[in-house]
Each structure stands twice: as C-alpha cells, then as structure tokens.
Amino acid sequence: MHILRRLMALLVFAVSYSTGLGTAFAADVLTGDARLACEAILCLSSGSRPSECSPSLSRYFGINKKKLSDTLSARHDFLSLCPASGDSKEMSDLVRAISQGAGRCDAVSLNAGLGRWQGSTDDGYPIISNKRPGYCNAYSSHEYTAFDDDLPRYVGTPEERGYWVEAKDYDQELAKYEKELAERKKHEEWLNGSGSGGN
C-alpha cells in the first residue's frame, strides 16, 4: 500500500501543478474522463479494487474496438487524459504497462491466450503455457503497481494439463488438479493394461 500512497501523492501533485491550484483542491478539480482516467490509473495499479473504482473501471473496460491493438491503443489514449500521465518517464511507463496488461493478465485471460489445442477435435485437450507474457510482467512488476500476492498462479505443468488460477483459489484448485491427475493416470494405466492383454 506504500506504493499506492506514493502514486496517489504523485497524481495529486501533478494535477495541482498542472492546474495551478493547491493540492487540497486538486482532487476536486478534475471532472469527466480526465478524472476517470486518473482514478483508473490508481485502481488498476493494485490487485484490490474498492467499489469506488467501479465508474472508472467501467469506463476503461468499456473501451472495445474490433481489433485488440486498437482497443489497447484507445485505452492508452484514455489513461493519457489524466494530467499526471506524462509527468515523468515512470508515469508514462505505468500508463503503457496498464494499457497493455490490465484485463489481459487474470487467470481466465491467461488460460485463453496461452493455450494451444493438442490432439484431435474429439479427444484433444488444451496445453496452456506456464510462462507469463512480457506485458503481464511489465504491468505487475512496475515500481508503481502493488499486486502483492494477488497475481494468478499456475497449477501443475503444461505437459500434465496445467492451468492458471486466481491466487485466492490456488490451494483449492491444486487439490482438484492433483485428484484429477491421479484419476487420469489410473485410467491411462488401466487402458494400457487392458490393451496389452493385462486383464
């Protein structure tokens, strides 16, 4: 939370400097998309998002274009409406990291984006990489973000049908995965045994 307090202070200072008003009034000066953009930067810099984040996050995630690259570019443009977004290299990098990673680095997105199909259409299964994409690493490891233990974790191995889960669900999903893996191996052994005349 120290990082978020520092980021909040930086945003308030930048807004007060750019508007010529004192910091006491800076938070009340912004309206419309500029205010929502600053709030979105704060809300997307942490894994915990209070209900006050709902308007800014709805605005941010409501930006959708036909192409992913256009969506990411439009989201970057939206975040850039915050007066503090270009005040330093760190802030510019943060806005870029958020626009590339926010909404693409949760467990559901990682499973969808990092999977490839193995086998036939009827009896195949997805192989999901356990390597986090570079844009997720840039987002989660930025000096102004604070995800602590909120990042998705990988259960199992790609070769054994592993997958990403949200950090809060890890223990439960690991137990489920290990049970299913044991049952699958037992079934495979049975099939191999009966196929080779073992029954």
**Do 117 and 93 share a structural domain?**
no
| pLDDT < 50: residue spans in the chain | 1-4, 13, 17-27, 197-199
DSSP state of 88: S
Neighbours of 119 (CB within 10 A): 10
**Do 92 and 6 share a structural domain?**
yes
Distance CA 151, CA 141 (A): 11
Whose CA is closest to 49, among 165, 185, 147?
Answer: 147
Tell me the pLDDT tens digit for each residue of 137-164.
999 999 999 887 889 999 999 999 999 9
Q: Distances in Å between the alpha carbon of 7 and those of 37, 39, 96, 102?
A: 14, 11, 15, 17
Structural domain of residue 156, as residue ranges? 107-195
| pLDDT for residue 7 | 52
Distance CA 61, CA 70 (A): 13
**Do 155 and 76 share a structural domain?**
no
**Do 81 and 15 share a structural domain?**
yes
Helix ranges restricted to H, 62-169: 68-79, 89-101, 107-113, 134-140
Task: Find all residues with CB under 8 Å of 151, minimum gap 6, and list them.
Answer: 47, 105, 140, 167
Whose CA is closest to 45, among 134, 168, 150?
Answer: 150
Helix H or strand E encompassing 127:
strand 125-128
Query: By three-state DSSP, how is residue 62 classified?
Result: coil
| pLDDT for residue 198 | 47
**Do 21 and 95 share a structural domain?**
yes
Domain closes at, from 79, 101, 123: 101
| pLDDT for residue 163 | 97
CA 38 to chain centre: 18
| pLDDT for residue 194 | 62
Domain closes at, from 101, 118, 140: 101
**Do 123 and 96 share a structural domain?**
no
Distance CA 81, CA 59 (A): 13
How many structural domains compose the chain?
2
Query: By three-state DSSP, how is residue 105 classified?
Result: coil
